[in-house]
Amino acid sequence: MSFFQGNQNSFILLVVLFVLLVIVGNEYPMGQQGYGGGY
């Protein structure tokens, strides 16, 4: 049971990280456009 709990925690962390990345990507559009034109 404790293995499942740890797995679930790390899955939740991964989802939170992904959502944060999407939000930051939408806030600051640096992803595809910024690296191509900016630098």
Cα 1 from Cα 8, distance rounded (Å):
11
Q: What is the pLDDT of residue 38?
A: 47
Assess whether pLDDT exceeds 80 at residue 13.
yes
pLDDT confidence bin for 16, thresholds 50/70/90: very high
- Provide the whole-model pTM: 0.50
Burial profile 1-19: b = 16 or more Cβ within 10 angstroms, e = fewer: eeeeeeeeeeeeeeeeeee
Q: What is the pLDDT of residue 24?
A: 77
Cα 21 from Cα 7, distance rounded (Å):
21
Q: What is the pLDDT of residue 29?
A: 60
Assess whether pLDDT exceeds 70 at residue 17.
yes
Assess whether pLDDT exceeds 80 at residue 15.
yes
CA-CA-CA-CA dihedral for 20, 24, 30, 31, to nearest 10: 20
| 3-state SS assignment for residue 30 | coil
